[in-house]
Structure 1
């Protein structure tokens, strides 16, 4: 059986605790939306982990999938993996080659745009990363291995948002992103094919939602929402699995509703 766990409110409902409890009964845990703006707190063997990108089940030795619907800040991911390793756990993760990358330019865009809109962004570059994805100038994980492509896309972002940055800074950013791509190369796969093959072979998947349904870009309290589909519908496009792959949805809610911002 494959199950999705989603937040029914504005996030912070305690999804991490539920996912951590359920993960022992599944082979795979998979994230399908959002980025480092999400945070799941898990206590494992007495140590507290605050996971922003890595699926919670990884702490129990499960394979964690970061789907194509996510936007990934590689610096944050590197820090999380290091923290997990320091706890004596070797993280088993797979990252979609189609997942988009959050760059320093996205964080700069976030700050510039929020001065105008004032909608309470987390300033982590999540919205702009989805924005560049839709504008078709976003950087995917698979793009990190082509320096000329990285430079072209970064320069397009600078032009679109009129970001005050010189060419040398762009070149330095290209080198760093390329190096990060090489570092994460072993984790990058066509997760859409991999997860569907796993499901076909009888493996069970726990789909891990981020934030909450009321922050969904289509069905939430627009415009005070996030930039992705946080409800269970988002997992089909965010992981590339068919609707028949989902057997149950567990909604997590808390006794009284709160939201950040």
Structure 2
């Protein structure tokens, strides 16, 4: 593990990317953590040996180890949320660089996101309510969408923010206050060009920290219960990095909010310390290890070089926990979810509808969870995690 590593969740998120990144950074020698998708809706929990806990959103999960964070052009940057996170961390702005071409999330994006999600009533998609998807959607139809580099020119920033407000509607936040806050953000952080990523990669080993999970990918997840973000390794490839592809899974599968979840089993006793119900995502759902869905994630992500398996302490406390090797959908038995054409959302929605009525078919309880998961996902387990601390982890 002396080269660059990309950490990607092979589920619906919440598999433990943050604690894996923290462990990799705890060993020393990491030049920087590069965030390559998502935005302020991320929630990566890290707990140090001294008991300090932080839920990382935009700062990289190596921050408590003193490892710098770089927000690449694929991030959606929320300066207001970032200021709050920085305050909780002790304002480590010296550890942060931001690509000037990254999109800016604004209060108007967030308000529009929440109105849209609330308007769906009982058919909510499970948004985090942070405006990341609204920011991405706006940028698709507005070439002048505000970007991080705009904070260095207050007149241009004001013009572009006014366009966002005119398009998405007012939310009661004075534009002068947002311009002032975003300008201060530009004076506080170091804003760089896209070539800075190449510089970091040349200076030493980097860890790419993904957000959400492959089963929530904007093109490969079960539309419309997905994120407006590329959660596979595609953005890492686009940044020109040659990496070890590390896929992260729990010993059981989880999902936060609405959408198909074939192996969900509320009867399992799987208490969660840092996840629960919130007004936007909905309930935190748990179930048996879904080998079928995780195999699909590996396939659409382009394969993984190795796996990190977290929550290996849980099976001993949950004797009813199983691995689901196949589904039953009516008279059919599936042990593989066949990927559809890339960017075909109609196909993904139809696939999601089939999965919504699927039920686990063949279920087994392995003697060795790492060996069983490695065999089913076709990659070796490189990292074992038995708890939240870096000392709870080891290379296999």
TM-score of the superposed pair, with normalisation by structure 2: 0.59
**C-alpha RMSD over aligned residues:** 2.0
Partner of 2:279: none
Partner of 1:18: 20
Matched, 1:132 2:138: yes
Partner of 2:167: 160
Change (3 A) 1:90 1:188: closer
Partner of 2:79: 74
User: Once the 2 structures are TM-superposed, how far is the Cα of residue 165 of structure 1 from its aligned partner?
Assistant: 5.5
Matched, 1:52 2:41: no
Conserved 8 A contact 1:58-1:91: no
Matched, 1:151 2:158: yes
What count of residue pairs does the alignment treat as equivalent?
248
How many Å separate the matches in 1 of 2:202 and 2:188?
31
User: Once the 2 structures are TM-superposed, how far is the Cα of residue 254 of structure 1 from its aligned partner?
Assistant: 1.2
Matched, 1:63 2:64: no
Matched, 1:217 2:221: no
Conserved 8 A contact 2:72-2:197: no
User: Once the 2 structures are TM-superposed, how far is the Cα of residue 91 of structure 1 from its aligned partner?
Assistant: 5.1
The 5 Å alignment of 1:68-107 reads: 68-85=73-90, 92-107=95-110
Conserved 8 A contact 1:58-1:93: no
1:259 aligned counterpart, secondary structure: strand
How many Å separate the matches in 2 of 1:27 and 1:173?
33
Partner of 2:41: 37
Higher relative contact order (CA 8 A, sep 6+): 1
Change (3 A) 1:165 1:73: closer
Conserved 8 A contact 2:58-2:82: yes
Partner of 2:202: 200
Conserved 8 A contact 1:33-1:70: yes
Rg bigger for which structure?
Answer: 2
User: Once the 2 structures are TM-superposed, how far is the Cα of residue 260 of structure 1 from its aligned partner?
Assistant: 1.0
2:62 aligned counterpart, secondary structure: helix
How many Å separate the matches in 2 of 1:107 and 1:178?
19
TM-score of the superposed pair, with normalisation by structure 1: 0.87
User: Once the 2 structures are TM-superposed, how far is the Cα of residue 10 of structure 1 from its aligned partner?
Assistant: 0.6
User: Once the 2 structures are TM-superposed, how far is the Cα of residue 171 of structure 1 from its aligned partner?
Assistant: 3.4
Partner of 2:180: 175
Change (3 A) 1:165 1:37: closer
1:6 aligned counterpart, secondary structure: strand
1:4 aligned counterpart, secondary structure: strand
User: Once the 2 structures are TM-superposed, how far is the Cα of residue 84 of structure 1 from its aligned partner?
Assistant: 2.0
How many Å separate the matches in 1 of 2:43 and 2:145?
24
Conserved 8 A contact 2:34-2:72: yes
Partner of 1:258: 254
